[in-house]
């Protein structure tokens, strides 16, 4: 199951969702690969890959078939000999230079070609930049589903609308297998009338594509990320609440992944 986590607005917590899903997968010992396509490389740092690595996502994008994923991925610092498998293709600032205009359909298939032999993983999470450039398009073309992350604010609502329209446009051209998984609201405060209004607005616009539960705003998430630790191992009831929410959304992802697309017959 290849899932892109994307947004057309920065600062909504897209990478936090990637880390939360990775934490949920690790807690269930599901072999998972995170590909950090965002030049800011926050997912790489959050997954406790702190040393400079000899390979990065740039190698994957420039030569998608020359070196297999097994030579590009490194183990997350979240894992050890007693835990499950969670690997990372590290992000790099140099990836920004590859986010220019795509060189035709072939230029949009680099991530897909790189993943053709990534059979060691049950789940692949693609952390996209907060834009609809070449890097995000490459991720979406390689994916079966796209998860749009939003916040309960006006600008984030309009960005979610643009993201779903962009996904639909790409599905009609370069990515016929792609479908939206839905819109996941992050940093939700139930006591905020504005937050409740914006979630209602999203629901009016997108109906069942708005996923529940929304992710509550809790300082435990920032604390766990600051320590480069999975939220499932962070103490306290707030961390448990977040872990339960990520478990729920991971279960949805895996259900979708278990539905194999039907083969066409002549």
List, for residues 60-91, the tens digit of each pLDDT value. 998 888 888 988 999 999 998 677 899 999 99
Q: What is the pLDDT of residues 145-202, one digit of tens each?
A: 999 999 999 999 999 999 999 999 999 999 999 999 999 999 999 999 999 999 999 9
Residues belonging to the chain: 266
In degrees and rounded to multiples of 5, residue 82 shows phi and psi of: -105, -5
Among 120, 115, 113, 131, smallest CA distance to 12 is for 131
Which strands sit side by side in the sheet containing 2-6, from one edge to the other? 74-75, 86-89, 32-36, 123-127, 2-6, 145-150, 179-185
Q: What is the mean pLDDT of the chain?
A: 92
Q: What is the pLDDT of residues 118-136, one digit of tens each?
A: 888 999 999 999 999 999 9
Q: Please report the DSSP string for 169-237 in residue order.
A: HHHTTT-TT-EEEEEEE-SB-TT-HHHHHHHHHHHHHHGGGB-SSPPB--HHHHHHHHTT--GGGS-SH
Please give the pLDDT value at position 51. Answer: 78
Q: Is the pLDDT of residue 261 over 70?
A: no
Please answer whether residues 23 and 34 qualify as being in contact, where contact means their C-beta atoms are separated by less than 8 angstroms: no
Question: What are the domain boundaries of the chain?
Answer: 2-257
- For residue 213, is the peptide bond before it cis, meaning its omega torsion is within 30 degrees of 0? yes
Please give the pLDDT value at position 264. Answer: 42
* Cα–Cα distance measured from residue 241 to residue 74, given in angstroms and rounded to the nearest whole number: 30
Phi-psi region of 186 (alpha: psi -120 to 50; beta: other; left: phi over 0): beta
Contacts of 125 (CB under 8 A, 6+ apart): 3, 5, 18, 21, 22, 32, 33, 34, 35
Please give the pLDDT value at position 119. Answer: 85
What CATH class has 2-257?
alpha beta
Q: What is the pLDDT of residues 212-248, one digit of tens each?
A: 999 999 999 999 999 999 999 999 999 999 999 999 9
Residue where the block lists tokens 């996502």: 57
Q: Is the pLDDT of residue 92 over 60?
A: yes
Lowest mean pLDDT among 57-71, 90-104, 137-151, 240-254: 90-104
Cα distances (angstroms) measured from residue 82 to each of 26, 79, 252: 11, 8, 26
Q: Where is 33: in which H helix or E strand?
A: strand 32-36
């Amino acid at each position: 199951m290849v899932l892109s986590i994307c947004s057309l607005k920065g600062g909504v917590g897209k990478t936090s969702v990637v880390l939360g899903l990775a934490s949920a997968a690790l807690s269930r010992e599901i072999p998972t690969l995170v590909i950090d396509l965002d030049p800011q490389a926050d997912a790489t740092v959050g997954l406790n890959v702190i040393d400079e690595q000899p390979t990065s996502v740039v190698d994957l994008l420039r030569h998608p078939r020359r070196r297999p994923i097994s030579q590009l991925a490194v183990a997350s610092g979240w894992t050890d000999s007693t835990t499950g498998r969670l690997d990372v293709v590290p992000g790099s600032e140099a990836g920004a230079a590859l986010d220019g205009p795509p060189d035709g359909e072939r230029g949009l298939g680099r991530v897909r070609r790189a993943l053709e032999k990534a059979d060691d993983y049950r789940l692949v999470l693609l952390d996209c930049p907060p834009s609809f450039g070449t890097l995000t398009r490459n991720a979406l073309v390689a994916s079966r589903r796209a998860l749009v992350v939003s916040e309960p604010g006006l600008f984030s609502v309009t960005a979610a609308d643009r993201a779903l329209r962009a996904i639909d446009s790409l599905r009609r051209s370069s990515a016929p297998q792609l479908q939206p998984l839905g819109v996941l609201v992050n940093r939700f405060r139930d006591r905020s009338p504005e937050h409740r209004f914006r979630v209602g607005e999203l629901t009016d616009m997108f109906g069942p594509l708005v996923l529940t539960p929304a992710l509550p705003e809790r300082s435990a998430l920032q604390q766990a990320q600051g320590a480069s630790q999975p939220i499932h191992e962070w103490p306290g009831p707030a961390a448990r609440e977040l872990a339960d929410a990520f478990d729920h959304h991971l279960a949805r992802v895996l259900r979708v992944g278990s539905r194999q697309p039907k083969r066409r017959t002549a």
